[in-house]
Copies of this chain bind each other. A is one copy, B any other.
Amino acid sequence: MPDSLKKLIESLKYLPGVGDKTAQRYAFSILDMPKEQFDFFLDNVSNIQEKIHLCPICNNLTENDLCSICSDSLRNKETLCVVEDVKSLFLFESLGIFHGVYHVLKGLISPLDGVNPEDIELDKLIERVEKENFKEIILAFKPSVEGETTALYIKKILGDKNIVISRIASGVPIGADMEYMDSMTLERALLDRKNLE
């Protein structure tokens, strides 16, 4: 196998979940791409790391000074949605149901994995909350020990300010069969039950 092909296969294995066989399949498909497609592909890969940086306000990805959300004057600047990563932000945005602004953490606190509040840059969130005038902070973390820990930590630090701190609901997903739910989800669904009005 030519050396350059071997190296291409090696570098494709940097992609998550890509092993030897898949990397080889990808390498062959890159080799076989029509010139135009290959150029588009290469062009898009080549400057991506230079072009994109984090929004200095919220950590969203952006090509400009501020991200498209922070620079949008129509967004409600009094409601902040805190997410664990930019993927969650994109997910919420794709729904088009949230009109406030975001703050992207660098993950969730996980003492077992040695991830402490400073590792996820919680201080940046706290500074921001102190400077801006939020009325509500929605914590949109996944329901897990890490999500729980991070939520409790934020509540502890920001709880004494005059800001509503809420957490997205957790329970049985719409359309799911009860029998396939784990006990923690059912317990949470029961605890967080809502009165019918």
**Contact residues of A with B, CB < 8 Å?**
1-5, 7-8, 10-12, 14-17, 24-31, 33, 35, 37-38, 40-42, 44-49, 51-52, 61-63, 68, 86-87, 90, 93
A4 contacts B52, CB within 8 Å? yes
Residue from the list B2, B52, B63 in contact with A62, Cβ < 8 A: B2
Cα distance A87–B63 in the bound complex, in angstroms: 40
When C-beta atoms are compared, the residue in chain B nearest to A9 turns out to be: B44
Min CB–CB distance A85 → chain B (angstroms): 8
Residue from the list B10, B16, B31, B46 in contact with A49, Cβ < 8 A: B31
When C-beta atoms are compared, the residue in chain B nearest to A90 turns out to be: B1
> Which 5 residue pairs spanning A and B have beta carbons closest together?
A11-B41, A8-B44, A7-B44, A11-B44, A4-B51
Cα distance A25–B1 in the bound complex, in angstroms: 29
Residues of B within 8 A of A3 (CB): 63
Residues of B within 8 A of A7 (CB): 40, 44
